[in-house]
Structure 1
Amino acid sequence: MESSAQALCRCGSGLRAAKCCDIEPLAPRVAPETGQAGSVRTPRPPVDPDARAENHQQFAQKIGEALAAFERADAATAARIAVEVLEAEPRHGAMLQLLARIREAERKPAAVRALLARLLEGDPTNLWAMNRLCQLELSQGNLEKAEIHARAAVRLAPTLPQAHNLMAMLMTEAHQPVVAVHHCRGALELGDERYPIVLSNLALNLRRLGRVEEARSLYREMTAAAPDNVRTWIAFAQLEEADRRFEAAHAVLDEVERRAPNSSALALTRATVLGRQGRYEEALGALQRSRRDETVRLRPVEQLERGRLLDRMGRYDEAWADFAAGKARALELGAPAYLRDEARELAERLRQYFRRSRLDLLPRAPARQDVPQPIFILGFPRSGTTLVEQTLSSVDAIAAGDELPLLREIAAVAPRLLASPLPYPEALSEVWLGDRRHGFETLRDHYLLRAAQMGLGGEGARFFTDKMPLNEVHMGLIGLIFPAAPLLHVIRHPLDVMVSAMSNFFTHGGYCASKLETAATHLVLTHDLVAHYRTEMDLRYVPVRYEDVVMDQERTVRGLFEAIGVAFEEKALRFEENTRYARTASYAQVTEKLYDRSCYRFRNYRRHLEPALPILAPLIERLGYAID
């Protein structure tokens, strides 16, 4: 049996584990004059100079052979030599980079991640490694890890267009369009040309900010300059579709069809536009034409789109089959699975920290009167939060903020802003100290400053909405820094939420919607956390039943405005006339008049939802709903 010391590393690099993922990390950098980490690496033990010279000569020859093999496309020989060198010198930069490129071509992301991380550990200024590692983490959906490398690249090379482009890509994926626009413009200003990828990214983020005409102008520029770039045409068509200009979207797609008639992106976008127009049979036909070869499977995103079309046509069993198959296929292709342990750990730490015995000793940040204030619209993804936001932002006093990442950002930076050695939420106890007693005001002001930088609350608005899904996890934090803020918690029948979760892709909740059972698990976890906060804290909590908004609209909407303290206006009942550009996944629904077909739609899928019932039954009863 192979000893553990000789076993190949589980990451797939081809190295022994002892020379790869199990290798002892380098000692931290330590500044001798202060003893603080961060500036100088602890020196290695002295090496015999003759031995070093001999090793250097041997390695130089092997490295040359490896690079030559790689240049002539002999990846197997190049990898074998690189492994041989790295077994002797596990931190050899050139060979780590070479082997990472080979494993990347072989689609071994775990190996690439391990090799690049070790390369950066030894050479923290290697921009190539930062770029590749950031892109790898992005492709795997690991946005927080990707952000570390994107930010490091800008710090290291603030005048390099590629560094700003990398940051723009990350911020685009993180749905932070204001920051993404800043770095797109930085890349363009620092570069010698108008790079198509940067322009496309800029147009997408301008669209997300509601600056539709600016985005449309960029798409026209790009399609004129590079008429064979199908991705640009598709993005242009998606803009027109989202802006309700369906015939313009079809005209753009006609251009794509002339240039790339077999494009799967063309078929999917055409189906989406036709579906918005209620032309469901044509939409199904468009998807089917993209897969003329019956042996070729639909992509997960196409399968969910077909399922949504079938749902609207009343073909519910077929629709569910597509939802389930699309989710399973996505996991099979490497989509992230639910981060169950991380979610449970955070919830437990929040429950332990936010207890009345502790909270009674903590101050609250006073409300500021000089800037617009947030209204928090809480709820599970696809539970009706966009409908509530569209309704409220119909009046001039309330601006729509959409999905703001600010509470998550505050939780991440709280230890630094409070100068605490503890993580969040334990770092909040820093305010007990005399020189930190105004800490919650610091966190409040950080939130408000970031909101102002995003352009929220302008043109006379007194309030702006923050409807990031699952912000209810941070209700305790909100209660400390915005104790007077309304917390509008949108509640919907849990089984209806499950149908929506299965019919859409979203990353919120630690990828909980990757499967039916994990979506149900996370829904229960968040509702349990809300119940805990309501027991332990005094909050301006306002439960909003989605079904009440739909079935008893005027009474419910009037109650919402009364709870916020804003005068009700009749136009709030005609939210579909709100001309703002809705920038979330529910943009299509909130441009239609109110309809009740989305209430209790789970009845069409009752037998398919059976696996979730043992998880959800107690919550369904607690919320006052029925299963049948």
Structure 2
Amino acid sequence: MTTDPIAAMDSESERLAAIQNLLRAGDRDKARNAVKAWLSDQPKHPEALYFYAVIQRTDGQPDSAMQTLAELLKIQPEHSRAVQELGHCQRQMGATALSLKYYQRATRMNASLIASWQGQLHALQKLGQRNGLNQIAEQIDYLRALPPPLLAVMDLQARGKRLQAEELCKRFMQKNPRHIEGMRLLAGIALEMGALDEAALLLTTAEKIAPANQRVQLDCVQLARRQNNHDEARRRANKLANSDPENLQFQSLAAIEALQVSDFEAALAGFERILEKQPNDPATLTSLGHTLKTIGRAEEAINRYRKATAVRSGHGEGWYALSNLKTYRFDDADINAMEALCRGDELDPGHIPFVRFALGKAYEDRSEYAESFTQYAAGNAAKRQQSYYDADDMHADMQSMATFFDRALFEQKAGSGDADPAPIFIVGLPRAGSTLLEQILSSHSQVDGTQELPNILSMAQQLRRRSEDTTYPEILADIDADELRAMGTRFIADTRIHRGNAPFFIDKMPNNFRHIGLIKLILPNAKIIDARRHPMACCFSGFKQLFAEGQEFSYQLADIGRYYRDYVELMSHWQSVLPGQILQVNNEDVIEDLPGQVARLLEFCGLPFEEQCLHYWETERAVKTPSSEQVRQPVSDKGQHQWRNYSPWLDPLREALGSHLVRLSEES
């Protein structure tokens, strides 16, 4: 009996390549047998199912192929080539409109799929629709012109394989150091990894070489936005919009950036102009809804959100936006529509969490907590499936901070860093009350509130990538006092754009707690405030909040519980090696005794008492976190015990936290 040589291969990549080669060579029988053998060993392997569906379709069995693809997408909803294959099946069956839907979804998931762009072009032409044809043709030309390694980089990046994409792109750039698209792709990967300085260097170089390249200009807008430099983002977006008034992408970008800097009149006018030409664009309808909501025109916002979900039921962001309106309640028809979406295949993977979280809120408003929890858990599971978060890796990272940053290191590095006392860092977990503390302090005449600034996280990421031999934080041992001072000075300079004229300013990026050691080396006189909230309340509030990015530990109860425990242990370490330099403020204490806690905060920051800090909700300033509405009202304990409604389903959280931390919540 002979052994199938493909089945005997150890490497999955070798197996895939062998099957691809057989299909390219037209040896369909061998390819079919190899895939069947693979499925016999691993019946749910996504790539084996994908190739089986391809073979079924090309054998003239599109119905069978679609059944295989449905099974695959249950296992891996983000498999963009499976969605593309659904488009091919529908096209083969003569269902042009349905093929268009799947091709469009595939390119939203993975813009490198040339066949899906070509499928859209064919479908639109056959349907007699000319809107968007030129842009699609331009995208096809762009992808065809890309060197194959860079097309592969795009594909890897779209599939979340950032390290592989980066490695391949760097190899290409070593041979082609002035290739604009290579620079752009490498900058995009750096942006995704939080290495903002690295991305900025690449894009600055690309812009010097090709100042008229509009794709580079678009990337520069995204970079400025990630740097929270919204004035620069708007300047660049307006420049693009003025250069091509008929380009709706540029017009939309300009309107979005107007919204970011609170120029609501310009944002409204911009979105309305786009809707005159594309009245049923769900993304623009939703953006217009956000603008109307922000300026208090809630009913009009609801109408735009509802229209967005009407023209594309699978536009999850529209449903989620409705759930975030405190005055809106979903009716039975809404809930049935969202439930049907979750059962069907209308939703892009990125929109599944939006709809699930909207359903969670809908059932919570009806006090149907069991079903509400089921939906929140499903939304988090969908986010978790798209994430590469590893709780063990995060634990090891925090342990490395505690190991490296001992008291001896701070004594050795004493006198390093920039002595500027201006920064006040508010750290902790999200949903722990940091926005409230920021609002209180920024109500003081000597303090500027800013945002969750990315600078420290970006600096830490740059240090991680600085050397192949030594990683962060250990690399700090080799950095001398002058460089540490320069790093602190750069932080002060780079954050100047977010400040007014007050002598102090706040950075409330919660995840900075992991980098307090770095902060105190480069800014020894910075104030650190630890915003703390009881574990069960804090963790569950994070679990049922759909964060845009940066809080991947919140997608699973066990992960968020372990993260909280690691946070408490690391903060205890910082307190021990930096005695008297960190103020812990418990959210429950602020609610119970606002005047006393305000006095503690001001004394720690070296600020005189000002009455306005006790009336923080009267302070007018932009707040862009999920707590924005809460800090517009006097302090309240309304949300402190909401987690108890879900208590029967929180055992994984309790187990991860441990008995001591659970008792803090149970006894409160």
TM over 0.5: yes
2:17 is aligned with 1:14: yes
Give the drift of 1:162.
0.7
Quickly say closer, same or farther: Cα 1:193–1:142, change in 2 above 3 A.
same
Counterpart contact for 1:168–1:183, Cα < 8 Å: yes
Which stretch has the larger CA shift, 179-188 or 346-355?
Answer: 179-188
2-side partners of 1:133 and 1:412: how far apart?
15
How big is each residue's C-alpha offset from its partner over 1:264-320, in whole Å with a ceiling of 9 and x where there is no partner?
Answer: 3575156236x322x4244x7545445666843772212112213433443322221
Quickly say closer, same or farther: Cα 1:227–1:330, change in 2 above 3 A.
same
2-side partners of 1:238 and 1:440: how far apart?
42
Indicate which of 602, 605, 612 corresponds to 1:564. 605
The amino acid across from 1:247 in the alignment is: E
Counterpart contact for 1:154–1:163, Cα < 8 Å: no
2:507 is aligned with 1:455: no
Residue matched to 1:305: 358
The amino acid across from 1:353 in the alignment is: F
1-side partners of 2:619 and 2:396: how far apart?
41
Give the drift of 1:124.
4.8
Equivalence map 1:405-554=2 (5 Å): 405-413=454-462, 422-430=470-478, 436-452=480-496, 454-456=497-499, 458=500, 460-506=501-547, 511-554=552-595
Please state whether the residue corresponding to 1:377 is helix, strand or coil: strand
1-side partners of 2:459 and 2:185: how far apart?
28
Quickly say closer, same or farther: Cα 1:311–1:185, change in 2 above 3 A.
same
2-side partners of 1:566 and 1:325: how far apart?
46
Residue matched to 1:403: 452
Residue matched to 2:373: 320
Counterpart contact for 1:403–1:468, Cα < 8 Å: yes
Equivalence map 1:11-160=2 (5 Å): 14=17, 94-96=147-149, 113=165, 117=169, 122-128=175-181, 142-144=192-194, 152-158=202-208, 159=211, 160=213
Counterpart contact for 2:207–2:216, Cα < 8 Å: yes
1-side partners of 2:485 and 2:620: how far apart?
35
Please state whether the residue corresponding to 1:598 is helix, strand or coil: coil
Give the drift of 1:192.
4.1
2-side partners of 1:104 and 1:532: how far apart?
39
Give the drift of 1:551.
2.4
Counterpart contact for 1:199–1:218, Cα < 8 Å: yes
Indicate which of 389, 392, 399 corresponds to 1:348. 399
Please state whether the residue corresponding to 2:355 is helix, strand or coil: helix
Indicate which of 392, 416, 423 corresponds to 2:441. 392
Residue matched to 1:358: 409
1-side partners of 2:342 and 2:489: how far apart?
57
2:256 is aligned with 1:204: yes
How big is each residue's C-alpha offset from its partner over 1:539-562, in whole Å with a ceiling of 9 and x where there is no partner?
Answer: 421111111122222222232223
How big is each residue's C-alpha offset from its partner over 1:24-57, in whole Å with a ceiling of 9 and x where there is no partner?
Answer: xxxxxxxxxxxxxxxxxxxxxxxxxxxxxxxxxx
Counterpart contact for 1:338–1:514, Cα < 8 Å: no
The amino acid across from 1:393 in the alignment is: S
Quickly say closer, same or farther: Cα 1:296–1:203, change in 2 above 3 A.
same
Give the drift of 1:350.
1.6
Quickly say closer, same or farther: Cα 1:230–1:385, change in 2 above 3 A.
same
Counterpart contact for 1:9–1:15, Cα < 8 Å: no
Counterpart contact for 1:276–1:588, Cα < 8 Å: no
1-side partners of 2:586 and 2:391: how far apart?
27
1-side partners of 2:472 and 2:570: how far apart?
16
Counterpart contact for 2:543–2:554, Cα < 8 Å: yes
Equivalence map 1:592-603=2 (5 Å): 592-603=633-644
1-side partners of 2:196 and 2:464: how far apart?
21
2-side partners of 1:231 and 1:196: how far apart?
12
2-side partners of 1:98 and 1:568: how far apart?
59
Quickly say closer, same or farther: Cα 1:556–1:239, change in 2 above 3 A.
same
Q: CA RMSD in A?
A: 4.2
How big is each residue's C-alpha offset from its partner over 1:179-231, in whole Å with a ceiling of 9 and x where there is no partner?
Answer: 64455356457x44464334433443443444544544443444456544331
Counterpart contact for 1:524–1:619, Cα < 8 Å: no
Give the structure, 1 or 2, with the largest relative contact order (CA under 8 Å, sep 6 or more): 1
Give the drift of 1:480.
2.4
Which stretch has the larger CA shift, 172-181 or 151-160?
Answer: 172-181
Residue matched to 2:427: 378
Quickly say closer, same or farther: Cα 1:342–1:130, change in 2 above 3 A.
farther
Query: Which blocks of at least 5 consecutive residues in structure 2 are unaligned?
Result: 21-113, 120-144
Equivalence map 1:237-248=2 (5 Å): 237-248=289-300
Quickly say closer, same or farther: Cα 1:552–1:97, change in 2 above 3 A.
closer
How big is each residue's C-alpha offset from its partner over 1:485-527, in whole Å with a ceiling of 9 and x where there is no partner?
Answer: 3211111111112211211233766611121111111111122
2:385 is aligned with 1:338: no
How big is each residue's C-alpha offset from its partner over 1:381-413, in whole Å with a ceiling of 9 and x where there is no partner?
Answer: 111111211222223322211200111123244
2-side partners of 1:587 and 1:181: how far apart?
23
1-side partners of 2:146 and 2:226: how far apart?
30
Please state whether the residue corresponding to 1:382 is helix, strand or coil: coil
2-side partners of 1:483 and 1:146: how far apart?
24
Indicate which of 625, 646, 667 corresponds to 1:584. 625
2-side partners of 1:97 and 1:15: how far apart?
23
Residue matched to 1:296: 344
Quickly say closer, same or farther: Cα 1:352–1:290, change in 2 above 3 A.
closer
Quickly say closer, same or farther: Cα 1:580–1:566, change in 2 above 3 A.
same
Indicate which of 216, 227, 243 corresponds to 1:163. 216
> TM-score scaled by structure 1?
0.73
Counterpart contact for 2:305–2:318, Cα < 8 Å: no
Which stretch has the larger CA shift, 114-123 or 537-546?
Answer: 114-123
Please state whether the residue corresponding to 1:606 is helix, strand or coil: helix
2-side partners of 1:14 and 1:380: how far apart?
45
Quickly say closer, same or farther: Cα 1:207–1:73, change in 2 above 3 A.
closer
Residue matched to 2:596: 555
1-side partners of 2:666 and 2:301: how far apart?
42
2-side partners of 1:96 and 1:384: how far apart?
47
Residue matched to 1:20: none
2-side partners of 1:518 and 1:424: how far apart?
23
> TM-score scaled by structure 2?
0.69
How big is each residue's C-alpha offset from its partner over 1:232-285, in whole Å with a ceiling of 9 and x where there is no partner?
Answer: 22112112223433134235447657x837463575156236x322x4244x75
The amino acid across from 1:271 in the alignment is: L
Give the drift of 1:591.
2.9
Quickly say closer, same or farther: Cα 1:316–1:592, change in 2 above 3 A.
farther
Which stretch has the larger CA shift, 505-514 or 1-10?
Answer: 1-10
